[in-house]
Amino acid sequence: MPTITTSDGTRIHYKDWGSGRPVVFSHGWPLNADVWDEQLRLVAGNGFRAIAHDRRGHGRSDQPWHGNDMDTYADDLAQLIEQLDLRDAVLVGHSTGGGEVARYLGRHGSARAAKAVLLGAVPPLMLQGPGNPEGTPLAAFDDIRAGVDGNRSQFYWELSESFYGFDRPDADLVGAAGIRRAFWLWGMQVGARGAYECVRQFSETDFTEDLRRIDVPTLIAHGDDDQIVPIAAAALKAAKLVPDNVLKVYPGGSHGLHGAYRTAFEADLLEFLKS
């Protein structure tokens, strides 16, 4: 199982498939690199080198007490890229991973990056406030923390329903049970400390200046029925901040990729990678 070791001694697990131009995937909360398996296989099968890591505290990476913050997540990504000596990379981030990509580019620059993809991503800011009325109230994130701190097994199972939009009256439920079980399994692999601390990072971090600093072509992709990261506070605002971007909105798309939404995004991703 390949790992890198960061400057603070944390081991970060990663997958590395195929060869060619590197495409580096950052996952959402509370998941790990496995959530990208289908896209990794797709990208590697189309002549790219597909890489995905487990964020610290998540999956097979170490679960340190310290460093569960967005700056450190971005620094871990930077060290992965540097230790693998990746250049001309395309950085792909979903949800919290989109914040990680934005913070990486804002904090470390684009010397090793050529493009970026933000899918259902949390930037610029999830938390509702005077300057962000479209955001989500703090009480909702307090509820998430309570779920993680309580019966987290039941919480992750229940969260999986809205994550993939399976609670909608017209939802396609074919295969839903398997998708929800996978989500639960990945969630249960997150360390309790890392899971709890990450909630503040994805909800309260303001990525506005990071987005303004992105100086590479960026694909911003979002489902318009995302119940976890509502599009009005996320992609629609991010598209006004990133200098060079293409916005793709998927009608009826949920937060998690599945079904027609997944098919459409994968086609857009390949087109963007090859352009």
CATH of the domain at 237: 3.40.50.1820
Question: Looking at residues 20-25, what average pLDDT do you find?
Answer: 99
Instruction: Please say if 61 is a catalytic residue.
Output: no
Show the domain range for 195: 3-274
Catalytic residue, candidates 13, 58, 255, 258? 255
**Residue 179 to residue 160: CA distance in whole angstroms:** 8
Any catalytic annotation for residue 162? no
Question: Catalytic: which of 61, 95, 160, 203?
Answer: 95
Q: What is the pLDDT of residue 70?
A: 98
Above 90 in pLDDT, residue 10? yes
Relative to beta strand 113-119, strand 218-223 is parallel
Q: Dump pLDDT digits (tens) for 141-198.
A: 999 999 999 999 999 999 999 999 999 999 989 999 999 999 999 999 999 999 999 9
- Which one of 54, 226, 254, 258 is the catalytic residue? 226
Residue 1 has pLDDT above 90, yes or no: no
Q: Is the pTM of this model over 0.75?
A: yes
Whether 94 is catalytic: no
Q: Identify the residue whose tokens are 């329903």.
A: 161
Beta-carbon contacts of 174 under 8 Å, excluding residues fewer than 6 positions away, are none
Residue type, 174: V
Of all residues in the chain, what percent carry a pLDDT higher than 70? 100
pLDDT tens digits for 198-217?
999 999 999 999 999 999 99
Q: What is the pLDDT of residues 97-131, one digit of tens each?
A: 999 999 999 999 999 999 999 999 999 999 999 99
Instruction: Enumerate the β-bridge partners of residue 116.
Output: 91, 218
Q: What is the mean pLDDT of the chain?
A: 98
Sheet holding 113-119, edge to edge: 3-5, 11-18, 48-53, 21-26, 89-94, 113-119, 218-223, 245-250
Number of domains present in the structure of the chain: 1
Average pLDDT rounded to a whole number, residues 85-94: 98
Please name the helix (run of DSSP H) or strand (run of DSSP E) that holds residue 245, with its range, or none.
strand 245-250
Between β-strands 11-18 and 113-119, what pairing exists: parallel, antiparallel or unpaired? unpaired
Residue 120: the pLDDT is: 98
